[in-house]
Amino acid sequence: MNAIRINKVVIVAALLGATIRCSAVEGTWARRSDLPTARLGLSTCVVNGKIYVIGGGYSIEGPHSRIVEEYDPATDTWARKADMPTGRLGHAASAFNGKIYVVGGDLHGEVSGATVEEYDPVTDTWTKKADMPTRRTFLCSCTVDGTIYVIGGITAPEMHTPARVEVYDPATDTWTRKTDMPTARSMAAACVVDGKIYVIGGVIGNVGGAGVSTVEEYDPATNTWARKADMPTIRKALSASVVAGRIYATGGGAGYGEPFSALEEYDPETDTWIRKPDMPMTRYFHSTAAVDGKMYVFGGAVQFPPHASTAAVEAYELTGPPPDFNGDGKVDGKDVLILAASWGQDDPSCDIGPTVFGDGIVDVQDLTVLAEWIGQDISDATLIAHWAFDEAEGVVAYDDAGDHSGTVIGLPVWQPVGGTIGGALELDGTTFVVTDFLLNPEQGPFSAFAWVQGGALGQAIISQQAGFDWLLLDPATGTLMTELRSGGRVSMALYSEATVADGQWHRVGFTWDGSNRRLYVDDILVAEDTDVALAECYSGLNIGCGSIMAPNTFFTGLIDDVRIYNRAVKP
């Protein structure tokens, strides 16, 4: 990496901050051992890597449970613990200093409680503590700096919704009041990230109401509230947990409708929400807890009205892409060198540690994550299409990575042993491959790579129908260029001086990391500039001709191993 390129990367990273950070992290769901006792309106709390699942009811009418079950995520096993003295549903639980504090909830049908009980997992014993000033149900609680914040809820039977924030100090067994939450609600979720509390969703007034998508942030240091970006889904009786500094909101419902399966991720750093893979089951009145980078979902109800609860447990695990920075299908020394070239910098494409979102600098933590991948077989979820062109016959060009198999238009001439990797497709200037929609360039980082031999002035390698030519040979000089740009009046194509049409095989590539366009020939950077936006386009790809199929854009020569990634690969 030369000095000019390093400066560009540093300047752009400084301008954009975190907005382009790793978009490739994805999660997967898996079923875990059922709760021994099916429940809804339960609460969960983590102490020493174990999750305590406390109280709740078989249905929304009860009976109100005193049951405590301990889940060990490491072994996927359950153990029964000492019953809570007070059976309850719709309560809240938070941990501090190895002990759990259970507050409020519906104690025995339509009566909200103020009762506080402390559980010590080491001695498996319960102790009664000072009552909360405002009795309530469907409240939320969380711990910041040794203090337990109890927020919102509803007080039955008056059906009064307190906006109150009351804080409990376990050291002195005393309560004090803080600034009211701006939007009084019950059935909300609360999470803590970087010492601030986020209260998400819920319902205003009567619990039968429609629900809200409101997010409000409380700063304990200043005792003030701030409105944040709304959650995409309006919901109440949801649950949320924090994994790797981001909040994951699960399930819930609206009004008297069916429960949801939606999972949405909130990044407090950028104040943005993203939809993530749905939970396998719909549920509300459930509870979530996170341990070691995984979120676990317990119980709740899967149907309206919530007269029966489920025992099902599901786990959500975040996984980053393999650190195959150059996209050659292997994690090896080449990737180590690429990481070394970004050492000490804020380079999102190499910032893979600590898992899963990185920390804004490339250092030994990133090398550690990379080392774990060396030599492993990788399945790269960011490789969204891979046409190997190893077919010997037929008109289908199979996609090994996704479900975007292409169709050869014209008479296909396969060269089963004539490619760089196995076979290749020979194009005669009248034939090309068409695929369905794969990606919208506006949406975020991506890369397109192909092996080609041959070609001539103005011929295209990959284009998007009715969009831009992604990779083509300059009509004037025959060198590699891209038309991909914002489409604005001042936006321009990006040109290189690298010759491709010399009869040799070359690997050509385009990458966009959200801020820089780059062209590669034989894995060497041949052109680069800053372009912070690309024009949207929702159509399929052409391989071997230009976007509007102009006759002079049809490729003549061999094409092999076309790979599209939804990240910026770094050859």
Distance between CA atoms of residues 86 and 102, nearest Å: 10
Is 497 among the residues that bind Ca ion (CB under 5 A)? no
User: Coil, helix or strand for 219?
Assistant: strand
In 433-506, which ranges are continuous DSSP H helix? Answer: none
Where in 421-480 is the site for Ca ion (CB under 5 A)?
Answer: 421-423
Is 162 among the residues that bind Ca ion (CB under 5 A)? no
Is 417 among the residues that bind Ca ion (CB under 5 A)? no
Task: Report, in Å, the least distance between residue 23 CB and Ca ion.
Answer: 16
Query: Partners of 386 in the beta sheet?
Result: 563
H or E element at residue 495: strand 494-499
Site string for Ca ion, 533-562 (x = CB under 5 A): ---------------------------x--
Query: Per the structure block, which two tokens stand in for 5?
Result: 């390129």
Query: Per the structure block, which two tokens stand in for 42?
Result: 């339960």
User: Coil, helix or strand for 25?
Assistant: coil
Is 359 among the residues that bind Ca ion (CB under 5 A)? yes
Interface pick for Ca ion out of 69, 166, 314, 351 (rule CB under 5 A): 351
11-18 long-range contacts (CB < 8 A, ≥24 apart) are 12/515, 12/516, 12/530, 13/345, 13/346, 13/347, 13/348, 14/346, 15/515, 16/514, 16/515, 16/532, 18/267, 18/269, 18/270, 18/360
- Is the CB of 383 or the CB of 388 nearer to Ca ion? 388
Interface pick for Ca ion out of 96, 119, 284, 389 (rule CB under 5 A): 389
Is 400 among the residues that bind Ca ion (CB under 5 A)? no
Is 110 among the residues that bind Ca ion (CB under 5 A)? no
Is 358 among the residues that bind Ca ion (CB under 5 A)? yes
Binding residues for Ca ion, how many (CB under 5 A)?
19
Type of residue at 436: D
Structural contact between residues 58 and 300, judged by C-beta atoms closer than 8 angstroms = no
Structural contact between residues 98 and 143, judged by C-beta atoms closer than 8 angstroms = no
Tokens 């990367």: give the residue: 9
Is 366 among the residues that bind Ca ion (CB under 5 A)? yes
Residue 171 burial (C-beta neighbours within 10 Å; 0-12, 13-18, 19+): exposed
Q: How many residues does the chain have?
A: 571
Is 326 among the residues that bind Ca ion (CB under 5 A)? yes
Is 324 among the residues that bind Ca ion (CB under 5 A)? yes
Task: Report, in Å, the least distance between residue 410 CB and Ca ion.
Answer: 19
Interface pick for Ca ion out of 106, 314, 335, 483 (rule CB under 5 A): 335
- Is the CB of 339 or the CB of 537 nearer to Ca ion? 339
- Is the CB of 216 or the CB of 335 nearer to Ca ion? 335
Distance between CA atoms of residues 451 and 539, nearest Å: 23
What would you report as the CA-atom Rg of the chain, rounded to the nearest whole angstrom? Answer: 28
Stretch that binds Ca ion, among 212-220, 366-374, 501-509, 532-540 (CB under 5 A): 366-374
Is 328 among the residues that bind Ca ion (CB under 5 A)? yes
Stretch that binds Ca ion, among 62-70, 84-92, 231-239, 420-428 (CB under 5 A): 420-428
Is 264 among the residues that bind Ca ion (CB under 5 A)? no
Residues that bind Ca ion (CB under 5 A): 324, 326, 328, 330, 335, 351, 353, 358-359, 365-366, 388-390, 419, 421-423, 560
